[in-house]
Structure 1
Amino acid sequence: MITGDAAYIKKINRSLIIRHIIKEGMISRADLSKITALTRATISAQVADLLEEGLIVETQLEHNSVGRKPIMLSINRHAGYALGIDLDYGQLSFTLSDLLGQPISSISIKIDTIDYSEIFQLLMGQIKKFQTDYSDSQYGIVGIVIAIHGLVSKDEVIHYVPRLKWDEMNLKRDLESEIDIPIYLENNANVCSFAERVYLHHDTDNLLCTTLYSGIGIGMMMKDEFFRGHDGYAGEAGHMIIVPGGKPCNCGNQGCWEKYASESSIFEYLSEKRKIKNLTYDQIQVWLDEGDAEVHHLMEQLIYYLAIGLNNMINMYNPDVIVLESELLRMFPDSLSKIKRNLTSSISHYRELIISDFGKKSVVLGSCALAIKKFLEVPMLNFTFEEQNEKNESVVILTKNL
């Protein structure tokens, strides 16, 4: 039994009710009482508050049986919006979602700078534009989560972003001084793991998500929480040394995992070798389809080294589900089976290994979902991903050279 002062108990009950309304989609007051074990009086009082606040709505279902038509409760998905931002090397990606985590509008901005002040101005300008364009709802934008491809401390200060060469930047403070919306910073691999947990793996207590895009990061969900470590820097597995004395890395070590098994390592090698400045996935897909021997060899090597690191992660954390975030692995034939064939240890245990279907959307989807979780003050969310037509736009910003 939960004990404490009345305000605390009311907050806990509210969170429980909201979570189950989201989980069920639509639910009656009577069924809420059964599922939560709360009295009907408590349910009625809490529901009245949530209706008054505009966070839930009532729907009367049509049915053919005799008696009163059931009144169903659901989240008012149009009461506000969440904004997820992927701050990556060379690109800013924004997605605005409703309160059920479904994308409404997305925009990508290509950037040709690593200068903090210039990127800050781009961020602030686009956030303010979203704020103006979507001010029609009761709560407006309820929160913003910015995914950082680097080290983010527990107090949400950017400790280090290798590819942007940012060191000890307080982006959260700087934005909050200009924008009156709750802003949160989180590691990109963490929000990817959150997206997988919220939208797909609802019953998974130990989920490990490996992102291979710009380096390698590990996001770990354990019992509905991120595994962060002492300062918040856990998950930087890309800088685990797998080849002693190997290729030099920006972190100062040699032979780091991400120098051998990340997508950026493939792109950097082929761009330099084939003298193509802006190499795309489409071009690599053409080479794969043509049976290009060098590209196929590079992918086989990536899988070989990827499996070495995954073996270490599995033995350290014994995850239930392992999700791989990689466009190249989706493109390469039979990549998942090849990875599994390299995971042959008799002491390595996991239930499921998959390649994510979200692609790079997982970063912004997870960011939106995390902003909603913080706004609603619930321990976890269970969303479904609905394919729908969202407004998409791409913008190219030319500034100084990277």
Structure 2
Amino acid sequence: MATPLNQTTIKKENKQLVLHYIRKHEPVSRARIAQMTGLNKGTISTLVAELIEEELLTEIGTGKSSGGRKPVLLQVNKHAGYSIGIDIGVQHILGTLTDLGSNQLVTERKPLKETSFFYVVNEVLSMIRYLTRHIPESAYGLIGIGVGVPAIVSIHGEIIHAPNLKWRHVDLKKELRKCNVPIWIDNEANYGALGQHLTEQTTKIDTTLYISAGIGIGAGLLLNGELYKGTHGFAGEVGHMTMDVNGPICRCGNYGCWELFASEQALLSYTGSEQTLEELITLARNGDAATLDAFRNVATYLGKGIVSLIHIFSPDQIIIGNRLAMASDFLYEEMNKTISSRLVTDQQHTPISFSTLHNDATALGATSFSIDQFFQDDTAHKKARST
């Protein structure tokens, strides 16, 4: 006979199973849930009733009948709570507010005048306050905040080193605890990969390598929709793989890193200007020869690095996001030419595309991670409802 503790545990696991299935396949009927999860209809009815009472699920009408009564369809109550995602860049912060279905309600971008740690913390807190003011009345309110940082981040959320921000061993989570909601810190490319996974570009793909190409370069690897982060959480620091052992010194302390040749900062160094990426794109569209040469240089080195990543990971597809995705028209052809000429494996047809999300992927992925954690933590529901 099962002990009360075991019964409680089993019920909690079954409840998670039902909620996970509905989130993935909504709208769906109780009968379909029972069929696909293997739980009996009585158990499904009890668990669904609890989830509706907790305002996590809602009934949205009826589906097609297969002979009897039309089934009542269920879906997640997307307006039960809201999540905030923050993308900290070198030159800006971007924040977005979403509902529990990852639908963006408000997105705000703010330039950074400097990158000192406490200045950025204050700007992030200001962004959070601004987005919080736009949260509608709901059962759970703000359920969590995810923050993406261009940094080496441990599995515990500690920022070990952010070369382009000049941060070392800083506790961003501690500084944001005054928000009184769960705080999740990760590398911006990891959150970018999750944000990309929400789009049609990745939902049916088993292995996706997302390359975040901005001032620096990072990568997030999705295996069957799950992030691969490595033993200590440091996987994906591809921007610091060596492209030229005798190359210039990188902010990380090494020499000849990939991001020195294939990033937004590389583009600026090739042009020798202080113009913005947007201004350089305009010049390229107007046929400026020097600017077009700079883009070709970036594209060539971007291709060289991607060849190595294909040889290492052999992904189903590669998506390039962050700010350089805005310049895809001036990168794609030269990048693909380089890749095709250098691959030594039979992977010439690995699909490579540029993100349609451009700058929003990291903030969107940060909100989705926070939402996932909320749905997986039954105590979070009870705590949020009691406050």
CA distance 1:297–1:335, change in 2 (3 Å): same
Instruction: Give yes or no for contact 1:92–1:108 (8 Å, CA) kept in 2.
Output: yes
Structure 1, 179-188 or 230-239: larger mean CA deviation: 230-239
Q: In the alignment, which residue of structure 1 is the partner of 2:151?
A: 150
1:199 corresponds to 2:199:
yes
2:315 to 298, 308, 319: 319
1:106 corresponds to 2:107:
yes
Instruction: Give yes or no for contact 1:131–1:140 (8 Å, CA) kept in 2.
Output: no
Give the alignment's TM-score, normalised by structure 2: 0.89
Letter in 1 for 2:287: G
Q: In the alignment, which residue of structure 2 is the partner of 1:298?
A: 294
Query: Helix, strand or coil: the match of 2:198?
Result: helix
CA distance 1:19–1:336, change in 2 (3 Å): farther
Deviation at 1:348, TM superposition (A): 5.1
Query: Helix, strand or coil: the match of 1:244?
Result: coil
Larger helix proportion, structure 1 or 2? Answer: 2
CA deviation vs aligned residue, 1:73-119 (integer Å, no higher than 9, x gap): 11111000010000111211110001100000111221212222222
Q: In the alignment, which residue of structure 2 is the partner of 1:235?
A: 236
Instruction: Give yes or no for contact 2:270–2:294 (8 Å, CA) kept in 1.
Output: no
Letter in 2 for 1:158: I
Structure 1, 138-147 or 324-333: larger mean CA deviation: 324-333
1:342 to 330, 338, 341: 338
Aligned-residue CA RMSD in angstroms? 2.3
Question: Matches of residues 214-363 of structure 1 in structure 2 within 5 Å?
Answer: 214-270=215-271, 273-274=272-273, 276=274, 279-333=275-329, 335-344=331-340, 345-347=343-345, 349=347, 351-363=350-362
Deviation at 1:327, TM superposition (A): 4.3
Q: In the alignment, which residue of structure 1 is the partner of 2:384?
A: none
Alpha-carbon separation, structure 2, partners of 1:133 and 1:222? 35
Instruction: Give yes or no for contact 1:81–1:141 (8 Å, CA) kept in 2.
Output: yes
Alpha-carbon separation, structure 1, partners of 2:64 and 2:325? 48
Instruction: Give yes or no for contact 1:311–1:348 (8 Å, CA) kept in 2.
Output: no
Instruction: Give yes or no for contact 1:326–1:355 (8 Å, CA) kept in 2.
Output: no
CA distance 1:63–1:184, change in 2 (3 Å): closer
Structure 1, 95-104 or 118-127: larger mean CA deviation: 118-127
Alpha-carbon separation, structure 1, partners of 2:130 and 2:360? 21
Alpha-carbon separation, structure 1, partners of 2:127 and 2:175? 15
Q: In the alignment, which residue of structure 1 is the partner of 2:72?
A: 71
Instruction: Give yes or no for contact 1:263–1:326 (8 Å, CA) kept in 2.
Output: no
Unpaired runs of at least 5, structure 1? 379-402
Alpha-carbon separation, structure 2, partners of 1:224 and 1:52? 30
CA distance 1:63–1:212, change in 2 (3 Å): closer
Deviation at 1:339, TM superposition (A): 2.4
Instruction: Give yes or no for contact 2:63–2:72 (8 Å, CA) kept in 1.
Output: no
CA distance 1:23–1:288, change in 2 (3 Å): same
Structure number with the bigger relative contact order (C-alpha 8 A, sep ≥ 6) is 1
Instruction: Give yes or no for contact 1:314–1:348 (8 Å, CA) kept in 2.
Output: no
CA distance 1:295–1:329, change in 2 (3 Å): farther
Alpha-carbon separation, structure 2, partners of 1:12 and 1:182? 22
Instruction: Give yes or no for contact 2:85–2:365 (8 Å, CA) kept in 1.
Output: yes
Unpaired runs of at least 5, structure 2? 378-387
CA distance 1:18–1:119, change in 2 (3 Å): same
Instruction: Give yes or no for contact 1:89–1:114 (8 Å, CA) kept in 2.
Output: yes
Query: Helix, strand or coil: the match of 2:179?
Result: coil
CA deviation vs aligned residue, 1:210-257 (integer Å, no higher than 9, x gap): 111121101111244322223211211111111120122111122110
Alpha-carbon separation, structure 2, partners of 1:165 and 1:333? 32
Query: Helix, strand or coil: the match of 1:333?
Result: helix
CA deviation vs aligned residue, 1:285-311 (integer Å, no higher than 9, x gap): 221122111111111111111111111
Structure 1, 109-118 or 10-19: larger mean CA deviation: 10-19
Q: Percent identity?
A: 29
Q: In the alignment, which residue of structure 1 is the partner of 2:126?
A: 125
CA deviation vs aligned residue, 1:352-395 (integer Å, no higher than 9, x gap): 211111101111111111111111119xxxxxxxxxxxxxxxxx
Give the alignment's TM-score, normalised by structure 1: 0.85
Q: In the alignment, which residue of structure 1 is the partner of 2:88?
A: 87
Instruction: Give yes or no for contact 1:208–1:219 (8 Å, CA) kept in 2.
Output: yes
Query: Helix, strand or coil: the match of 1:246?
Result: coil
Structure 1, 198-207 or 91-100: larger mean CA deviation: 198-207
Aligned length in residues: 369
Query: Helix, strand or coil: the match of 1:147?
Result: strand
Q: In the alignment, which residue of structure 1 is the partner of 2:368?
A: 369
Alpha-carbon separation, structure 2, partners of 1:80 and 1:118? 29
CA distance 1:268–1:6, change in 2 (3 Å): farther
CA distance 1:50–1:246, change in 2 (3 Å): same
Deviation at 1:160, TM superposition (A): 1.0
CA distance 1:170–1:83, change in 2 (3 Å): same
Q: In the alignment, which residue of structure 2 is the partner of 1:45?
A: 46
Instruction: Give yes or no for contact 2:322–2:361 (8 Å, CA) kept in 1.
Output: no
Deviation at 1:24, TM superposition (A): 2.6
CA deviation vs aligned residue, 1:164-199 (integer Å, no higher than 9, x gap): 2111111112211x1210000010000111122233
Alpha-carbon separation, structure 2, partners of 1:105 and 1:126? 11
Query: Helix, strand or coil: the match of 2:329?
Result: coil
